[in-house]
Structure 1
């Protein structure tokens, strides 16, 4: 087992000090290996040393300018710091560098949503769920994005897939209620969805408001 492999194993087991030691030794043995710097940055991120982590990811990129994992890690750090323009830049570079995983596409889609660019976010969220169909969080965000672009039939289809996978997803039921109330004009089904959302999450204020409106409408 290499030092990097051992360090990753330590991270998975929450042995942060041992992981730091392993990655430090890996860097000492081979200071021109970008992977070791990326791994060290990841462990620093995990223990909250974000500024130091940035330095290690940037060092990795000086060694390997096409290190997609370093671009991705930097994109995540900037996203968490709400520096969305910088996050977008690094996440785009990660994908251009060949990082073909669902998380990269999802994070770029989420970043574009934060920048109020839902139309641009849509294909990245779509690609994310193509790469990982089991990611219900990505599918839910994709559904919201579709609804925002008034692609309601597809949004409903995606929300239905979310609740198939996560039967207690209150927000998915709420958004189905909104779609059935507004787009489908089916007050009874909308009421059923709002009620289901409240059964799951009793303090869901939006679902409670939706339920009240549907009940008032049906009583007319």
Structure 2
């Protein structure tokens, strides 16, 4: 097993110190291997040293300007620090460099949502779901985005798919309830709010929506 593979194994085990040691040895053995720098950056990011992680990702890009995973990883860090405009640009770079994955589309969609660009987010979230139909969170965010764009029937389909994949997703039940209420199907809406509260008793939005609905029945 080479040092990169060994480091990945340690990362999967949560052994960050040994992972860092393995990736450092990989870099020493081959200083022109961008993968080792990306992997080392991932360790640094995992332990909260984002500033240093970005430097390793940038080093990987210096070695190989098409190191798409490095752009994606930088985008994740920028997103986590609410630097959404910068994150969007870097995720777009990752995509241009060939990272055609569900995660890239998902993060680009989320970034557009954070920038209040719901219409622009839709095609990215849709593509994310197409590439990974079993991602419950992608289904949820896509459904939420559809609802925000008043595409209620389409949103309902995605939210139902989300709870099929993740039956404990209280926010999906709540938003499904909102969709049913919007369609004036009060009984189904109430059932969804009750389900959300069953899963998460302190779900304030579901509790408030349930009270409002019951007052009007």
Do both share a fold (TM > 0.5)?
yes
| Structure 2 match to 1:169 | 169
Conservation of the 8 A alpha-carbon contact between 1:38 and 1:69: yes
Q: Structure 2 unaligned runs (5+)?
A: none
Q: TM-score, normalising length from structure 1?
A: 0.95
2:75 paired residue number: 75
Counterpart for residue 28 of structure 1: 28
Please list, as runs of the form range in 1=range in 2, the aligned pairs for 1:11-90 lying within 5 A after superposition.
Answer: 11-90=11-90
TM-score (norm 2): 0.96
Structure 1, unmatched stretches of 5+, are: none
Question: Are 1:208 and 2:207 matched, yes or no?
Answer: yes
Provide the secondary structure at the position in 2 that maps to 1:65.
Answer: coil
Deviant stretches of 4+, over 3 Å:
none
Which residue number in structure 2 is paired with residue 109 of structure 1?
Answer: 109
Query: Which residue is equivalent to 1:191?
Result: 190
The alpha carbon displacement at 1:168 in A equals 2.0
Counterpart in 1 of 2:5?
5
2:94 & 2:13 partners in 1: Cα distance? 27
| 1:36-89 deviation per Cα after TM superposition (whole angstroms, max 9, x unaligned) | 111111111111111111100001101111111000000001001111111111
Matches of 1:113 and 1:44, distance apart in 2? 27
Partner Cα distance (2:158, 2:3) in 1: 43
Deviations 1:62-120 (A, max 9, x none): 11111110000000010011111111111111111111221111111111111111111
Q: Distance in 1 between matches of 2:52 and 2:108?
A: 23
2:93: which partner in 1?
A: 93
Distance (Å, rounded) in 2 between the aligned partners of 1:192 and 1:7: 48
Whole-angstrom CA distance in 2 between matches of 1:44 and 1:176: 39
Cα distance in 2 for partners of 1:206, 1:47 equals 34
Distance, in Å, in 2 between the alignment partners of 1:106 and 1:67 is: 19
Q: Distance in 1 between the 2:35 and 2:85 partners?
A: 26
Q: CA RMSD in A?
A: 1.1
Contact 1:129 1:135 in 2 (8 A): yes
Q: Note if contact 1:188-1:214 (Cα within 8 Å) is conserved in structure 2.
A: no
